[in-house]
Structure 1
């Protein structure tokens, strides 16, 4: 197996169900150069951790050379919106992230996520009630997809009567991140761009309304907040709201779906969660290590020559960080291929690290804890209909496209 072919195998959908043996092979050479001449892949925990904290690593795709940019997997198009802070470097990144954090979490809004706990539980309960008494359910279509979109609607303050439209736009945009090879790519891009345009027009109108009559929701705060960094422009509010929708939605879908798949493969842990709901907190942390919703970060570039594990990565190179491989590094985690919710010192890379660590981590964690706890408690005798399930095409946002679960009924 050649090093140059290894990344291609990881990206190959045929290996999506279990890429971990390929990651183990990848870790034998912590840094290697792809045949395209511009891509360097880093796969071991400590090297990835260091690079995520290295100011010489840029997240701004505008710093990529044309050759390096051409080596990236397909990414979503953002139309006329400015880059989100995920795709910016300091100081622009720091300013926008601070402004977004003020209405979202500590120290200025410390209870935003905590105060949603009751609402999250109600949304989860209603979705599970919707399973009815059928013999099986597709967890993705009937639970994992609608749950985080509904949460984001409530967080932003989308009127209840508009939530169905918001769901449709979110589903269309999400589908564009995971293209079906049998679809016409031109038509797919057209439909996705139309959904982005419609969503942008809708949000722009809602932002104008909130500026005139702000409420308690996050969109009102983003639109009206005047802090030390000033006020967000209309386009910055739009871009940030779109980020909350796409990034918050896709990662949470995968976290919940991968989580339930893992629990059904480990029935002893599922039983423990049913009997010990407090297990949900360490269990979700282990899921973030064991089956992270974001497997790799392809959009990084070097701003200077950097030596990593004895290899010099030159300035301007495309850098891929394989987070899921680092999470299974035996030099960092004992017995890394074992799912262990009692694991100690679990400082995984499942939500990133450094200045770009997952902005929505507190909400994603809470969503997964509540969702998996209620699913474990309420589904009577659940089992997988198909294992492995069909996986999405996307290698970055890896997760099942469908997860059919058989069950005997619902507990109250």
Structure 2
């Protein structure tokens, strides 16, 4: 049956420019679609939402023996997830504090303006390398306290970690996993070393706050600090790169909406929510049931790898009217762009701020821009889907 090859076809690089017909096929095949490797795909909105909020679903890869080391809190279950997430976010302030996020606006705008300066004289730029990547990296490095001259160190580490975290159907992933482990250890070691330099010398950044926490009950162990700092860096920029690049690509393909946003810039926050639904930066997440779970008459057996295809849920006609149409004024837009449930992206307010600053600053420049290549070359990653390069000319 064709449905049995869906995961292989979705993760095939040839599908990266447009996986959405496959997601339609997935939804039509049923709420739960078993695959030959024993995993199950779930692509319908309401079933995904229920499973993301079900405490019987585990985010911890050790549940099925996929890891031996303790993962970062993003991939832990409560209560340990809640403890580490709470400790990690203490220096950042309340996870959704408007005051904290608004306090970053000036720095984000300054970095955005700095990155845009060379655009005035350039005839061609790469939106990814020249803008969408350096902006969120600069912001998360400022938050963590990474020296500006060390920012280039992180690209190779980040690429290796993201590649290892992808949903894969390869028979042998040993080398990819080893490269990811090396990157995790090297990056964690660097960040812990940087934090240790600030012990007893608070400097106002997050690494400094972690090592200078006065309450012994609220301190992270060195291992927890390493995993948390790596997670904050990766999560602090990877999704935002895709959100900005996908946003520019979507608007250049739809000049009527680009013109609409240039005329009505107050629509930009709603347009970004629609981008998070229509072209989300994260396409799927893996979960493992702690117990047998019934989903629309099908049993997800304990220990099964369940791949929740969030981007498919975002296009489910049972939840969204005319879901394949980009509508920057769409109401009631409860998408999965930042996930849902206890693992809802804690950095979502910052990502929204960065996307608003980036697209808002780019809008005046895009009226005379054209895509050099459409579709553009995409990143290999099927889970974190976005252009690898996005060349535009004026």
Q: What TM-score do you get using the length of structure 2 for normalisation? A: 0.91
* Equivalent residues of 1:131, 1:142 under 8 A apart: no
**Unaligned ranges ≥5, structure 2:** 165-172
Equivalent runs, 1:55-74 vs 2, <5 Å: 55-64=55-64, 69=66
* Equivalent residues of 1:169, 1:196 under 8 A apart: no
Equivalent runs, 1:3-402 vs 2, <5 Å: 3-28=3-28, 29-36=30-37, 38-64=38-64, 69=66, 82-106=70-94, 111-158=99-146, 162-174=147-159, 177-178=162-163, 195-226=183-214, 230-298=218-286, 300-379=287-366, 381-402=368-389
- Per-residue CA distance 1:111-148 (angstroms, 9 max, x = gap): 33221101101111111112342221111111111111
Separation in 1 of the partners of 2:162 and 2:8?
Answer: 19
- Helix, strand or coil at the partner of 2:327: coil
Please identify runs of 4+ aligned residues in structure 1 that moved more than 6 A.
185-192
Separation in 1 of the partners of 2:91 and 2:316?
Answer: 37
* Equivalent residues of 1:105, 1:111 under 8 A apart: no
Cα root mean square deviation, aligned: 2.3
The alpha-carbon distance between structure 1 residues 226 and 352, as it changes in their structure 2 partners (threshold 3 A), is farther
- Helix, strand or coil at the partner of 2:199: helix
Shift of residue 353, structure 1, vs aligned partner: 0.4
* Equivalent residues of 1:104, 1:113 under 8 A apart: no
**Unaligned ranges ≥5, structure 1:** 70-76, 180-184, 408-412
Greater displacement, 240-249 / 285-294: 240-249
- Helix, strand or coil at the partner of 2:306: strand
